[in-house]
Structures are given as structure tokens and as C-alpha cells.
Structure 1
Amino acid sequence: MELYRGSNTNQMDYNDDGRGPKSGKILASNDDRLDSGLDSLKEDEYPDVVSDFRRMNVAEDEPWRKELTEDGDTYLHLAIIHEANDAALKMIDLSYGHPFLNTQNNQRQAALHLAVITEQPRIVEQLLKAGCDASLVDDCGNTALHIACRKGSMACFGLLTQGCPQHLPAILQTPNYNGQKCIHVTAIQGYLSLLESLVQLGADINSQEQCNGRTALHLAVDLQNYELVKLLISKGADVHSFTYGGHTPYHLTYGRENADIQKVLYELTAPHLRELPDSESEDSDEDYEDQCTSDEDDDDDDDDVPIYDDIKMMGQ
């Protein structure tokens, strides 16, 4: 990749309006550049200026941006996968604001997804600064933040939530193809600090999974995570939230071993919402006896009833 184009022995004068160099005028000596303003730059600003000029001199049709593997990976994907940081950072630096950064492979993974998967915070940071779209989803519907929540990567989580504040509210509301938002993914993994951070950032603590309507509190009960249950309640989780099947978090404690979870939810749940829905209640003793009697009568006629196996496995 060619970083600079043309000779650096001659210097061109620039128009006062900043629109570019005056054609045909070459400065005679370095003395004419004493008022260029470079001396006013702070020492730590020089790298940024050099980087800006480098990007200005990069052609839009760099051939390496168009190369794809059979999996749809670009050179940037490969550099991140193989943790070739220098190469990855150079390509990012040469592609500020370029659509190349958001190229998705056959699994719809952008470079940002892969940087989070491989837990490379420096690459994540530079991609975000270069204009990478943090709202892109892979073939499972996961944003890069979903992945950071699943992996429990605090460094990547922090960069993603701080690096795209204008898009963060929409990302927090984005469900993956399992119907789970970032708060659900975090609850399933049991990462208390990440979940607390999500709530502070504006994630809806009572948001329901799209598939069955469970909230983070329902998930915490399902997973028998007492610490998570306590945290969610302290943050304002609704103990009276219903799943699509009509179950409160307390209902999910039935048949579960953790008595502490059952006790805390029992005390917080309204009395009329403690009983299981009628459709989920156990059969009465009378119904059970009738069923047993019926089964015994059926057993007497088993020899006369043909048996059919209508279950098919793999089409067989």
C-alpha cells in the first residue's frame, strides 16, 4: 500500500481559502513556510495530522479492498482473525469513512464483529473511530454489542457503548434472531456488572424476549441465579410481568430447588398472582383416578388394538 504519492522535495503553495494548491507555483525555499502554523501544533497532534494527510493520498480504488476469499472475507477480516494487528490497523487507517470497513462476509460478520469475537479492544476502538457501523447484525441477528455481552468482554463492551452514543438506544432495542436483546443475552450469561451497566445506559429492564415474552427476571429465575434475581429487583424489575404463556417470575419457581428465590418473589408477588394459570395446574385427584381407570380398561383390549409407529426420523 503506497502511503504517499509524488515527490517530497518540492512544496506547493496553498490558496488562502483552503481549497487546495495553486497550480504552477513552487516555493523557492523553506523560509517561505515559516508561517505555516505547524509550530502551533502540540506534540501529540502531529500523528493525527500525518494520518490525515496519509488518508488524503490514498486512492479510492485500492485493489486490496476488493479482494474476497471464498468465505467472503476481506483482507481486513483475515488480519483480525489471525490477529495481525499492524496490518489491520494500517487498513483501518487507510479506510476512514470508507464502506469497506462495513463489508460483511458470508456469515454477515463485519470487521467489528470479528474484533469483538477475538477480543481485540484496540481494533474495536479504531474501527469505531474510523466510522464502522456498530448496528450491523450477523447471520444470527447479533450486533457487536450482543457478542460482547455474550462473551462478557468488559473492554469491548465499554468501547461499543461509549463509541457510538447516537446509535446506542437503537442497538439496545435490537433483538437477535432468537428474539433476545442485549439485556437478555447478558442475563442468560449471568454477568451482573454488565447487566447493571446496560440498565444505567438505558436498556429496558422489563423488555420481553420476542419468542416467549420472558424478561431478564424470568430468565434469572429459570437459571436459578439468586444474585441476579436480587440485582434485577433492586433495579426495578417488574415481578408482575407476564410471559406470553401468562407466567409471572414467581410461577417459574414451582418445582425449582432454590428456596431463597421462591421466598423473595413470594413476598413481592401479589397474592392473586401466585397461583399457576389454570392451564398449568396439576390434575385433580379425581381426574387422575378417572384417567388410571380408563388406562386399565384400555389395557384389557391391547391385544385387539393394532399398534402404529407414525414417528419418522430423518424422513424414514
Structure 2
Amino acid sequence: MDAYRVCNSNPMDYDIDNVDPKHGKMPCVEERFDSGLDSLKEEEYNNIVKDMESLKMAPPGPTRIECNNEPWKLERTEDGDTFLHLAIIHESPVHAMQMIDLSRGDPFLNVQNNQRQTALHLAVVTEQPLVVERLLQAGCDPQLVDDTGNTALHIACKRGSLTCFGVLTHYCSSSLPSILTKPNYNGHNCLHLASIHGYLCLVESLLRLGADINAQEQCNGRTALHLAVDLQNPELVKLLVSKGADVNTLTYGGYTPYHLTFGRQNGEIQQHLYALTAEELRPLPESESEESDEESSSEDEEMYDDIQLMGQK
């Protein structure tokens, strides 16, 4: 079952060529491919529906311990999905919340499918903030990552989900500092993802919550400001500069955000950053290829400096 795939094969996690020229935003990469039905036989599916419908709220007291050993908690599809995963995928909050309430404090809430998605990941992907809230209240771990290294908050930032973002940050106050600094497997933290997709409201919220505005993504050392220039988003550039972004931060290759304006169409961004960039950092750094060419030329001259032509050196 493909279910909800939260993955991106592009190592930079965005494609400049696919930017919406009107809004300067990137299209969201998560797509819903199927609902999980294809991986289930009709009889298996009917049994799942029957089991879901038979779920009852557990009464308080000792019977809660017995509920932790319910057989339905052990069921898995071929893609590793539990009944709770399926209820969320099928957008059945009634069944999902019944299972959540039967599983408070139970490791069952943190079971990851074959894509390492927890129920919390899927609740954010499917835009179900009430389920997100119930999961967090019941003890779901917000720091778990899927097979692309994204926490549930990373996904909310990537999708521009303001409601899920609000619920997550409200209930994850103790673990929020750790989540905000955590990079996914493409090297991007939550601020980088919100910047790449042009969600200005989320960028402001993340900064207000303590995200490091000058944090460098791990691929090549771009900050959120570098990414804003890359994607030619003047509003985001102005916002980041107004919030204290360091215009003199260098990528691992030695480039400031101003350097990334060369060859790009938006002259407003270039002029704005030129005025703010330190004078000594305005010239473009020499590329490694140019340096190697110069070194090679110098070596060639030394190698052949004793050649004689018609008796002349």
C-alpha cells in the first residue's frame, strides 16, 4: 500500500524549475496515491471494518491494562499499518479516537509503518488537527521521524498546515527546541522547509518560537536567507532581513546570499542585499576550477621553461 507518501528523492528537497512564478512557492511533494485498499483482500478489509465498528470505549479501572493486550493492536497490513493508521488514512476520526483513548500511554501509539510513519505523521498529512491533538494528549512521541527524517512538525511546515502546526507547537513545548534544530535526511530543519515552500506565516511563527534564523542546511550550508534568494522570494528576503538574518553568512562554498543573486532576474533582491553585504564580501569568490586552471598553467610554464627554439630559450 502506498498510503500517504511523505518523501522526496531530490537531495535539495526542492526544484527551482517548478516554482510557481506568480506566488514564488514550491508545490507540495506529498501525494495521496491510494487509500490502502489495494493491499487488502475483500475478506480482510471486511474484517477490519467489522473490528473497527466493534471497538468500544474502555471503562476506567483495571480493565484498561487488559486493553493494552487487545488482538487488534497486533494486526498489521503488508505495509506495516495498524488499525489506527488505517482509520486515519481513511479519515475516520471516530474510530481513530476510540483506538487512541484505548491506548493512552501505550507504545501502540508510536508504531511506525514500513515508511516509518506514526499515526501522528499521518494525522498531519491528512489535515486532522483534532486527531493530532488527541494523539499528543495520549502520549504519542512528536520526535519520531519517518523514512525521510521528518517529524510531524517538519511535515506541517512542508505542507503549510497552520492548524496542525499550532496544535503541535502547543503540546510539544518541552521537546520543541530539539525538534526545531533537527534536520531531516535532506539536511533541512523546519525553518528551511517553511522558507523553501514560501510560508511566511510559518516562518514568523518558527522564529517567534526560537528557531535559529541563521541555521545552515547540511547539504551546502545555505541559510533560510540563501534559500529565499534561490527561490527569488522578495517578501521572504525582506522578512528574514527584518528579523535579523545575517546577510554575510557564507555557504560551505563561500557564497553570501548576495552572491546568489547573480544570474537571477529579480534586481530588487540584488540591490537590497548589495547595500547590506559587507564590502569585502561583495566580489564573487574564485571558483575551484579557475584556481586549478591557474595552478595548471603555472606548472606548465615551469615544466617547459627550458625549451629552446632556434637556439633561443
TM over 0.5: yes
CA distance in 1, matches of 2:121, 2:143: 10
CA distance in 2, matches of 1:55, 1:222: 57
Deviation of 1:164 (Å)? 1.1
| 1:81 lines up with 2:89 in the alignment | yes
Given the alignment, which residue of 223, 227, 231 partners 1:223?
A: 231
**What amino acid is the match of 1:220?**
A
**What amino acid is the match of 2:229?**
V
- The farther-off stretch of 274-283 and 84-93 is 274-283
CA distance in 2, matches of 1:151, 1:54: 41
Given the alignment, which residue of 242, 267, 272 partners 2:250?
A: 242
Residue pair 1:2, 1:58 contacting (<8 A) in 2 also: no
Instruction: Quote the residue 2:47 is aligned against.
Output: none
- Closer, same or farther: CA 54–187 of 1 in aligned 2, 3 Å: farther
Q: Which runs of 5+ in 1 are unaligned?
A: 5-50, 291-316
| 1:72 lines up with 2:75 in the alignment | no
Q: Where does 1:56-67 land on structure 2 (aligned, <5 Å)?
A: 56=64, 58-67=66-75
- Closer, same or farther: CA 151–55 of 1 in aligned 2, 3 Å: farther
Instruction: Quote the residue 2:271 is aligned against.
Output: 263
Given the alignment, which residue of 246, 261, 266 partners 1:253?
A: 261
**What amino acid is the match of 1:109?**
Q
3-state SS, counterpart of residue 153 of structure 2: helix
CA distance in 2, matches of 1:281, 1:275: 17
Deviation of 1:56 (Å)? 3.2
For residues 2-30 of structure 1, give each alpha carbon's deviation from its aligned partner in whole angstroms, at most 9, with x where no partner exists. 546xxxxxxxxxxxxxxxxxxxxxxxxxx
Residue pair 1:93, 1:130 contacting (<8 A) in 2 also: yes
Residue pair 1:55, 1:95 contacting (<8 A) in 2 also: no
| 1:127 lines up with 2:147 in the alignment | no
Q: How many residues align?
A: 239
**What amino acid is the match of 1:230?**
K
Q: Which has the higher contact order (CA 8 A, sep 6+)?
A: 2
Deviation of 1:59 (Å)? 2.7
Given the alignment, which residue of 261, 276, 292 partners 2:284?
A: 276
Given the alignment, which residue of 144, 154, 162 partners 2:170?
A: 162
Deviation of 1:55 (Å)? 7.0
- Closer, same or farther: CA 55–255 of 1 in aligned 2, 3 Å: farther
Deviation of 1:137 (Å)? 0.3
Instruction: Quote the residue 2:210 is aligned against.
Output: 202
CA distance in 2, matches of 1:3, 1:182: 36
3-state SS, counterpart of residue 171 of structure 1: helix
**What amino acid is the match of 2:241?**
I
**What amino acid is the match of 1:157?**
F
CA distance in 2, matches of 1:54, 1:115: 30
Instruction: Quote the residue 1:145 is aligned against.
Output: 153
For residues 119-177 of structure 1, give each alpha carbon's deviation from its aligned partner in whole angstroms, at most 9, with x where no partner exists. 00010000000000000000000000010001100000001111111100000011000
Deviation of 1:53 (Å)? 4.8
Provide the TM-score with structure 1 as the length reference. Answer: 0.72
- Closer, same or farther: CA 59–245 of 1 in aligned 2, 3 Å: same
CA distance in 2, matches of 1:165, 1:53: 30
Given the alignment, which residue of 92, 99, 112 partners 1:91?
A: 99
CA distance in 2, matches of 1:226, 1:3: 52
CA distance in 2, matches of 1:79, 1:56: 21
Residue pair 1:150, 1:185 contacting (<8 A) in 2 also: yes
CA distance in 2, matches of 1:62, 1:91: 11
- Closer, same or farther: CA 270–127 of 1 in aligned 2, 3 Å: same
**What amino acid is the match of 1:199?**
L
Greater C-alpha Rg: 1
**What amino acid is the match of 2:221?**
G
- Closer, same or farther: CA 160–90 of 1 in aligned 2, 3 Å: same
